[in-house]
Amino acid sequence: MTGQISTTKSARSRFPATADEELWFARPFSGHEIFGRRAPLEIELGTGKARFLIAAAGANPSRDFVGIERSLSYYRIASRRISRARLANARIVRADARMFVDGCLAAGSVRAFHVYFPDPWPKKRQRKRRLLDGVFLEVLASKLEPGGVLKIATDHPGYAGELRPLLQTVEDLEEIEWDSLPTPPPTHYEIKYRAEGRAIQRFLLRRK
């Protein structure tokens, strides 16, 4: 017996192994520092496997894209894919989206937020776990530049139904036609849900 606690490979893989895998919180985030330039900043919350992020960054080299992902396993997949894509304008950050937006972003610093297929938490008792609620929508609005946008898509009718009246309560945001801006590249879930024939509801909000 050496007194050392032995950890199996699978147990180790459940914990951050490198500094970048630690959750980012309570530390200011500056796109200028991360990317080494001043460019419009777009942030995706709940990036999953980063399909959207990589396509959007590849198509818009003059903008910087940051994906926020809480799950370590998805963070690792996204991180590998982004490195392989060799994009100078895309990064993934492991963080809880609410804590990151509220605690780490400067007011008026973001050109666009993308929230695609957030976990629906369909059971009534789980609803409080949903990412988008009235308070967080106000926080998101405060971090947008004037004229900046919040884009949301969901396949979940209950989530969409509850979101619509909530969005109208956020004074700094106005809803505009989804088709008034170019269609964003599809996410992994969008492709999956379209193939299943599910209806997708989309919201486009602009900071006044």
The residue assigned the tokens 């894509």 is 85
How far apart are alpha carbons 153 and 170 in whole angstroms?
A: 18
70 binds ligand SAM (CB under 6 A): yes
- The string of DSSP letters for 65-116 reads EEEEE--HHHHHHHHHHHHHHT-TTEEEEES-HHHHHHHHSPTT-EEEEEEE
How far apart are alpha carbons 108 and 88 in whole angstroms?
A: 23
Which residues 141-180 are close enough to bind ligand SAM by CB under 6 A?
none
How far apart are alpha carbons 104 and 84 in whole angstroms?
A: 27
Is 119 one of the annotated active-site residues of the chain? yes
Task: Name the residue with the smallest CB distance to ligand SAM.
Answer: 46
Q: Which stretch binds ligand SAM (CB under 6 A): 18-26, 33-41, 42-50, 105-113?
A: 42-50
The CB-of-5 to ligand SAM minimum distance in angstroms stands at 29
The CB-of-113 to ligand SAM minimum distance in angstroms stands at 12
Contact track, ligand SAM, 95-134, x by CB under 6 A: -xxx-----------------xxxx-----------x---
Q: Which residues bind to ligand SAM, rule: CB under 6 A?
A: 45-46, 48, 68-71, 74, 96-98, 116-119, 131, 187-190
